[in-house]
Structure 1
Amino acid sequence: MFCLCFLGLGGASELAFIKEPSDVIAVRDRPLMLDCQVEGEGPITITWRRNGVPVPLGARAAVLDNGTLLIRNLQKRRDSDESDAGEYDCAAQNRYGLLISRKAHVQLASLPKFHTHPESMSVDEGGVARFHCAVSGVPEANITWERNRTALNADDNRYTLLPNGILHITGVRQADSGSYRCVAKNIANTRYSHEAQLSVTANRLYKEPVILSGPQNLTLNVHQTAILECIATGNPRPIVSWSRLDGRSIGVEGIQVLGTGNLIISDVSLQHSGVYVCSANRPGTRMRRTALGRLVVQGTINTHTPSHESNLGFSSDQCK
């Protein structure tokens, strides 16, 4: 998107962008370069603005010969709102006209402290453990887990790591006892959550199926990924299955089941909207527990984060 206005009549040599600035997530205290390369009859003057105000040039910022803006040391002052983040555009001008680039949004990378930490728990041997941590990073942080400050063995299929910071351990053993924490990492920082203790008890009595964590209500935009969690425990271990409340088929394309029953729907479309039912069945019987969650897929793209609402009120657990 650009604005082109000619100041002269006839014989004008049009200006055209070869490269325009792009949106970027930048790291504080490191250099940042924004492209602005133009072709046309010289001499051509390149100027830069941030949030509509000319960028001050000097020791911290310079325009290179090819029009690129170099900020030598990106800043965000902790004691004020002053920051190099914002919307940047460049303007190219020769004697025939003026060309203004698209606006590029510059965000500062960040990784604040965890706002959800894993909590200690006691689990029967053979049961299921669930830990959850959450942090809001820019860009989104990659989350991994440690036991006793050593990375979990990713090849062990008893571990299920959901992308939203949830760890499931199925078929818990005495050897799984210990301290668990999650590690969040992005280009800005690495952070560690509080540690949570997992205690394993040797109780092997019969237990009816129980859904420890069911699907949340989700509102997503098309092409996003839906994560519908369903973690159940009991002795013997219940079998988890999924259905839709309206009876329609869930389908197979773009559908993945992680762990013992978490439903992942990638690249959601409007047709995926509906109420999803997670059932935990006791093997060989008709006894089951159910939990329901509503998935709403919006047809328009916006910049808001998916909202997580409370579980549906009309049914949580039932036993048949």
Structure 2
Amino acid sequence: MSVHPCLCRCVSGCLASELSFLLEPTDVTAVRDRPLMLDCRVQGEEPIMITWRKNGSPLPTGPRVRVLANGTLLLQSFQKRREGTDADMGEYDCAAQNRYGMLVSRKAKVHLASLPKFHTHPVSMSVDEGGVARFQCQVNGVPEAKITWERDRVLNACDLSSRSRYTLLPMGILQVTGVRQADAGVFRCVATNIANTRYSNEATLNVTGGAPRTYKEPIILSGPQNLTITVHQTAILECIATGNPRPIVSWSRLDGRSIGVEGIQVLGTGNLMISDVSLQHSGVYVCAANRPGTRMRRTALGRLVVQAPPEFLQWPQSVSKPAGGSAVFTCVAQGVPEPHLIWLKNGKVLMPGHNVKLTNNNR
């Protein structure tokens, strides 16, 4: 959360000389052995001194770590480990100071790009012709890895996604409905990000058939999982069902409210996609697999939690007061969950004291 410090003023007419950020450092994922730059651009009366901190401590500069003339921090070669010192990962902030005071930027988290081994691999399965197959792989990449699928060692994700019976979900899930003999083969997923490319174990899809299919009650193979995302992102709730005859998948909210139609799309045979989510989309969603022409059904539930990053509704305004007078600064922010406000003075946390009072959750 970006919190601007309160800057004390005792000289009337100096407001035009106040420090303000043109560009603050932002969260970034760095690649090992490559350069990293963090922005810090400030306007105000010169001279302005820019310093950087890492994890709250002053950041020493040298041949490998430099502060450029415009305030930008340059790390010549980002390191995971360095002998006798900490790695370069951590929280960075910059401080700008002139004769009127000091301004401290937001904290920018710097992560190291990584792609470890898969912790979930696809599993071989045998499916009746006309049935449903589902494969899943999972890997914790930083940044999040792009998942594509191979069949028989051929990268054909584009071909797969163009087929109406194949559904690729972004969380490493491949669904195949109305399975045919031609779908049989060896599947594996490929994970790729800026750090590396990895391949999962292989899984075989065997397709059985020939005999007439008998009646089978509806079964939800995989229902929606609890999901927490941020406003304006896209939520995908999985629901894939099998049975004979093929069940009809429908969605509702547990609280009875309408899901609506704007931004709502069904992927494959029953996965629910909500584009550009808002806080109103938070709730428990119910996936139902109905046997056609009857009331027989199976259900699965998943909770969607939508969060909103903190934003300022009102922020402190600069004032000029005579010595011995009182100054009131107001700061109001909103977000989900409710943000916690911290006051800084000249870059240091401002604590309540004999002449400082914080009210209304530090506002």
Q: TM-score range by the shorter chain?
A: 0.7 to 0.9
Pick from 253, 261, 266 the counterpart of residue 270 of structure 2: 261
What is the one-letter code of the residue matched to 1:88?
Y
Q: Which runs of structure 2 are paired with 1:1-320 in the superposition (5 Å)?
A: 1-3=3-5, 13-77=17-81, 82-152=86-156, 153=159, 154-203=161-210, 204-220=212-228, 223=231, 225-244=234-253, 248-266=257-275, 267-270=277-280, 273-282=283-292, 285-286=293-294, 288-297=296-305, 301=336
What is the one-letter code of the residue matched to 1:256?
Q
TM-score by length of 2: 0.73
Question: By how many angstroms is 1:180 displaced?
Answer: 0.6
Question: By how many angstroms is 1:69 displaced?
Answer: 0.8
Determine if contact 2:149/2:155 at 8 Å carries over to the other structure.
yes
CA distance in 1, matches of 2:282, 2:190: 32
Determine if contact 2:245/2:291 at 8 Å carries over to the other structure.
no
TM-score by length of 1: 0.82
CA distance in 2, matches of 1:79, 1:161: 44
Question: By how many angstroms is 1:92 displaced?
Answer: 2.5
Q: Structure 2, unaligned stretches of length 5 or more?
A: 308-334, 338-363
CA distance in 1, matches of 2:62, 2:115: 30
CA distance in 1, matches of 2:163, 2:236: 21
Determine if contact 1:7/1:95 at 8 Å carries over to the other structure.
no
Give % identity: 60
CA distance in 2, matches of 1:67, 1:222: 31
CA distance in 2, matches of 1:246, 1:40: 53
Question: By how many angstroms is 1:290 displaced?
Answer: 0.8
Determine if contact 1:181/1:196 at 8 Å carries over to the other structure.
yes
For residues 20-59 of structure 1, what are the alpha-carbon distances to aligned partners after superposition, in whole Å with 9 as ceiling and x for unaligned?
2222222221111111223334333222111121212122
Question: By how many angstroms is 1:244 displaced?
Answer: 4.4
Paired residues, number: 300
For residues 257-301 of structure 1, what are the alpha-carbon distances to aligned partners after superposition, in whole Å with 9 as ceiling and x for unaligned?
11111122331544652351412324xx42733122142536663
For residues 102-144 of structure 1, what are the alpha-carbon distances to aligned partners after superposition, in whole Å with 9 as ceiling and x for unaligned?
2222222222211111000011112111001111222222211
Question: By how many angstroms is 1:192 displaced?
Answer: 1.3
What is the one-letter code of the residue matched to 1:140?
E
Determine if contact 2:215/2:245 at 8 Å carries over to the other structure.
yes
Q: Which residue of 2 aligns with 1:315?
A: none
Q: Tell me the SS of whatever aligns to 1:134.
A: coil
Q: Structure 1, unaligned stretches of length 5 or more?
A: 303-320
